[in-house]
Amino acid sequence: MLMISPRMASGMQEKQYTPSLLSFFIYNPTFGPREGEEEKKILFYHPSEVEKNEKIRNVGLCEAIVQFTRTFCPTKPAKSLHTQKNRQFFFEPEDSFWIVMVVRNPMIEKPNKDGKPPTIEYQEEEILDTVYGAVVRQCYSMYKLFNGTFGRAMEAGGVELLTQKLEKFFYRYLQTLHLQSCDLLDVFGGISFFPLDKMTYLKIQSFVNRVEESLSLIKYTAFLYNDQLIWSGLEQDDMRILYKYLTTSLFPRHSEPELAGRDSPLRPEVAGNLLHYGRFLTGPTNLKDPEAKFRFPKIFVSTGDGYEELHLIVYKAMSAAACFMISASVELTREFCEQLDSLVGPQLTLLASDICEQFTINRRISGPEKEPQFKFIYFNHMNLAEKSTIHMRKTASVCLTSVHPDLMKILGDINCDFARVDEDEEIIVKAMTDYWVVGKKSDQRELYVILNQKNANLIEVNEEVKRLCATQFNNIFFLD
């Protein structure tokens, strides 16, 4: 991405380039061990139009770096390589399978007088290993969610099937990577939970139990409202990657006006006196269509001793979405989908109205929504809960933050310091101009606060953070 900043009155412009993906490839060194067979190692390479010898050379270089670093620490090979122009990230998700992502460093292009070519300055320290290392791991987790492990494809159809699956998945997925907006939230990979009162939560639990009892084929259920999780029957790590897929890919593609169906293309069906706005986000778009296809995406979730393959049914009514997972060995029919639609549609519509009403009452009590007084990011490693007042709407295409990128980098640096030690600690940084950045790590929880306090001192900043903890996290214990 290119950003242009005007310079003085001379009309000369300085161009700033954000980080971008140069290449992404997957290889297995055991597939082409002999000379002349190097190309067999390469299972996937983006961009595909790169000349064959260059692909072989780049993969060979990565292989050499990994092998060289193993001599120093056999159990922990290289994770990244820093050069002036780019940064390379290495990840071995399964034995001998390597994923490599090469990111071009941000750079500034400065014009020269007298028609000389512009000077390029690479900003080598602007990229954080923790952030982009997490992006590479996310790529694998997303592949595994929809395809299972690399080993599974090898067992089913050998190298040929694996390369087909990698090509099909990553060709589309890499287009959705927006490296310029990756930050601390990518490191956490957390889940935003919707705050609910006990009665409404019990209604949702009761709804889930009723549906699972009536439709015994359903193995797992997840319930979301406004892109935030309320209930999940999945393991945490499976839910975390499914949550990312739902909130950054599936839901944005099917976003609809939240006007109780007034502008919505949905058909209001009468069930008693109830308007029902339910519809399938995966599978058939219209149940009444005689040509409707009853195919649902398949996902893989972990079990005690392996993984299981499931159909993923996502059903939405207004702002509430229910995900139902059913064993892939079962064939889903029109009758089943009609039964699910008639059972879930009216109940989910009612629940969505109840939650919306509760949410409105809570907002009225807490006063009108305004710019948050405190800009903070909170993450709990135990239940993966995250909350941010720094990030505005996060969509498939971009994640907008309300603070300067330099401040986001300081947050990432503090997080790196926290990761190096197990003890609880607190770090306070005086940043540009009037900003203070505070990081607290306490009992598996992390809190990062950005304060804009003119002429404040350490004691005053500390008091402000205590006030934030008292108002926003009064039921969470932070060590002082």
Which CATH number goes with the domain that contains 430? Answer: 3.30.450
> In terms of domains, do 354 and 416 share one?
no
**Cβ contact 313:325 at 8 Å:** yes
> In terms of domains, do 296 and 423 share one?
no
* 190 in a structural domain: no
Number of domains the chain is built from: 3
- 245 band by pLDDT with thresholds 50, 70 and 90: very high
The two three-digit tokens of residue 448, written as one number: 């990062």
> In terms of domains, do 106 and 212 share one?
no
| Domain final position from 182, 207, 233 | 182
> In terms of domains, do 319 and 456 share one?
no
* 163 in a structural domain: yes
What pLDDT score was predicted for residue 476?
63
> In terms of domains, do 124 and 153 share one?
yes
Q: Which residues contact 412 (CB under 8 A, 6 or more apart)?
A: 128, 130, 131, 183, 184, 187
Integer Cα distance of 423 and 445 in angstroms: 12
- Maximum CA extent, the chain: 79
pLDDT at 73 over 70: yes
Q: What is the DSSP string of 334-364?
A: HHHHHHHHHHHHHHHHHHHHHHHHHHHHHHH
**Cβ contact 353:277 at 8 Å:** no
* 353 in a structural domain: yes
What pLDDT score was predicted for residue 394?
54
> In terms of domains, do 93 and 137 share one?
yes
Residue 115, CA distances (Å) to 7, 111, 122, 355 in order = 17, 9, 21, 63
Containing structural domain, residue 219:
198-254+275-366
* 91 in a structural domain: yes
| Domain final position from 154, 182, 210 | 182
Predicted structure pTM score: 0.87
CATH number at residue 139: 3.30.450.70
Q: Please tell me which residue, 364 or 415, carries the higher pLDDT value.
A: 415
* 142 in a structural domain: yes
> In terms of domains, do 171 and 60 share one?
yes
**Cβ contact 343:214 at 8 Å:** yes
> In terms of domains, do 209 and 350 share one?
yes
> In terms of domains, do 240 and 161 share one?
no
What pLDDT score was predicted for residue 475?
62
Mean per-residue pLDDT of the chain: 83
What is the tens place of the pLDDT at every residue in 290-327? 777 888 999 999 887 788 999 999 999 888 999 999 99
Q: Please tell me which residue, 434 or 221, carries the higher pLDDT value.
A: 221
> In terms of domains, do 30 and 133 share one?
yes
Name 376's bridge partners.
449
* 267 in a structural domain: no
Residue 387, CA distances (Å) to 37, 286, 439 in order = 50, 36, 15
Integer Cα distance of 53 and 153 in angstroms: 27
- Out of 11-20, 134-143, 344-353, least confident range: 11-20
* 317 in a structural domain: yes
- 26 band by pLDDT with thresholds 50, 70 and 90: very high
| Domain final position from 340, 366, 392 | 366
- 261 band by pLDDT with thresholds 50, 70 and 90: very low
> In terms of domains, do 425 and 344 share one?
no
> In terms of domains, do 378 and 361 share one?
no
The two three-digit tokens of residue 402, written as one number: 């309300």
* 167 in a structural domain: yes
What is the tens place of the pLDDT at every residue in 324-379? 999 999 998 888 988 999 999 999 999 998 888 887 877 666 555 555 567 889 99
What single-letter DSSP state applies at residue 312?
E
**What percent of the chain is helix, strand and coil (3-state, nearest 5)?**
40, 30, 35
Integer Cα distance of 301 and 52 in angstroms: 36
For β-strands 445-452 and 435-442, DSSP reports them as: antiparallel
The two three-digit tokens of residue 335, written as one number: 């009758």
Per-residue pLDDT averaged across 66-93, rounded? 88
